[in-house]
Chain A
Amino acid sequence: MDVENLEKINGLLDADVDIREKIKDQVTEFDKRTRSLSGTLNRIHSTRSDQMAALLDTARPIFESCRETTTALAAIIPPNQFWKWKDMWVNSLRNVVFSATLVEYLHRGTLLSLQQVSETLGIKPEWQDRFTLSVEDYLHGVISLVNELSRLAVNSVTLGDFEQPIKISLFVKDVFAGFSMLNLKNDLLRRRYDSLKYDIKKIEEVVYDVSLRKLAPSAKEQPT
């Protein structure tokens, strides 16, 4: 190999190594933030509905801090190289999508759209080719949301909230109907989608328990 070629190769390599290290630093920070978010939100299983809003308020500032990360990453990544580097932050990103959609559900009972999640994380459309929220990453976050809600269905009954599992059941069924529209390949997304039916089953069992025992206010209103 001649000297010129070797120099060219080492130049390309050094540039890549440099980018990788910068991304790594950002991702370490990002990971801390996303984990602290999911840690905070883990408390929903022991929080009564009247105190839920206060808990959600503690989470909101952390979303703000995530915007620093997304902005920094968008600045590091060269044009058109989003897909080259995205695996380095994919887990943290999916985690924060999960947290964002969870907060929205607890706040308003609705599903945060992909565009809204991007906005929450400060992801600008003009970063499209450098840093963006892909459909796949959004979907993985939403599946995690369903997993979490099946747990919440059980725990909210324990805390005396008998309406929540019914609301969750209706919501999760809508989300599942959405997923069922997709043509999925035999990949991780497909496998996780398949596991959603177990979450639905679990939620249905809670709804069944609550309705039969006439614990739910709507059930109590039924004439005997």
Chain B
Amino acid sequence: MTSPKTLDSRDSILAAFETFRGELDDHNDRRERLIKSSRDITNLSKKLIFLLHRTLTEDATESDDRVLGQRAATRAKGKLKEIQSLFSAIRDELVGDRFWRYQRNVSPGLQEYIEALSFAHYLEHRSLISYDQVQATLCDADGNAFFPLPLEDYLLGLADLTGELMRFAIAAIPRRGGRQKASEVCSFVRSCKADFEGLTPYFKELRKKQSVTTQSLAKIEDATYAVVVRTSEYDLPPELLDDLVAQTLSRAADHSNFGEEIRRKRTRDADYDMEED
């Protein structure tokens, strides 16, 4: 290799900067492509999370949360594959030393994906998906990783999972068997928080998310407390109370079919029927 020459003329300087332009353009173009891919991944992941929530709450007749969880996880599989193929599509842009240059740009999508993935995993297995398991979903058919999974993205994706679980728990409480489910979720989230606590000194973002997790926990705890206190006023076993609530709800649903008639009747009768329940 010949010794590099000093840039001793205007032309040589311009030539050098022309190669710089090429390199910087190449870098910036790649960055833009990856930002777009990250947004697409985020979009699909968010939709998947909504789908999971819907599957868990749409069926009023199904009270076995195991069944609902399995159903949700099964529906998720196809969508997860779709997202994984997006990661596969960008693997060439992230080859070698490139990954860490653009990690910041793919991080948002990656974390959203991990949130969705770990939510589906929890619904199926009632456990926290491991680092190795997440990395395994980001590999090709031969087991070669698309890129190395950063520890930070794994942890931050999981930290967002606790927020989703809170939503799941709160939505579950008014349904049959909901309090049991909520308290299961509560102890799971509590153990997640405990696991992350030791890692917070190393990841600033994690510290912030931990405080959000604490708030989520408090919400679930307050909701389950309120239900317990209220049900304790009635001297009935919890399953019978659930039945009472379910009956009231279904009566209201039936009556709404008669719509306007009922409404008009109520208005007329309101003046006379104040004593009745």
Contact = CB atoms under 8 A, between A and B. Distances in A.
Interface of B (DSSP majority class): helix
A183 B14 CA distance: 14
A177 B24 contact: no
A128 interface: yes
Contact of B132 (A6, A8, A104): A8
B96 A129 contact: yes
A213 interface: no
A164 B20 CA distance: 29
Given A1-B191, A5-B130, A116-B4, A82 B10 contact: no
Interface in B1-49: 4-8, 10, 13-14, 16-18, 20-21, 23-25, 28
Contacts of A4: 130
Interface residues of A, number: 44
B5 A113 contact: yes
Nearest to B149: A12
Nearest to A170: B10
Nearest to B192: A1
Contacts of A83: 97-98, 100-101, 103
B171 interface: no
B202 interface: yes
Nearest to A112: B6
B90 interface: no
A6 B127 CA distance: 13
B97 A81 contact: yes
A219 interface: no
B199 A183 contact: no
Nearest to B150: A84
B273 interface: no
A138 B10 CA distance: 18
B18 A110 contact: no
Contact of A181 (B4, B14, B103): B14
Given A83-B97, A181-B17, A13 B202 contact: yes
Residue of B7, B14, B23, B195 ringed by the most chain A CB atoms within 10 A = B7
Contact of B4 (A5, A113, A175, A183): A113
Interface residues of B, number: 37
Contacts of B151: 9, 12-13, 16
Given A17-B202, A80-B99, A113-B4, A183 B21 contact: yes
Contact of A104 (B6, B10, B16, B191): B6
Contacts of B13: 111, 174-175, 177-178
Contacts of A79: 97
A130 B23 CA distance: 19
B131 interface: yes
Interface string A93-110: 000000000001000111
Contacts of B86: none
A29 interface: no
B7 A110 contact: yes
A116 to B, nearest CB: 5
B7 A112 contact: yes
B128 interface: yes
B24 A6 contact: no
Interface of B: 4-8, 10, 13-14, 16-18, 20-21, 23-25, 28, 96-101, 103, 127-128, 130-132, 151, 154-155, 191-192, 195, 199, 202
24 contacts: A2-B127, A9-B131, A9-B154, A9-B199, A13-B202, A16-B151, A80-B96, A80-B97, A80-B99, A81-B97, A84-B103, A104-B6, A108-B8, A109-B8, A111-B6, A111-B7, A111-B8, A113-B4, A113-B16, A177-B14, A179-B17, A181-B21, A183-B21, A183-B28
Task: Give me the 3 closest cross-chain CB pairs, A-B, nearest first.
Answer: A178-B17, A115-B4, A129-B97
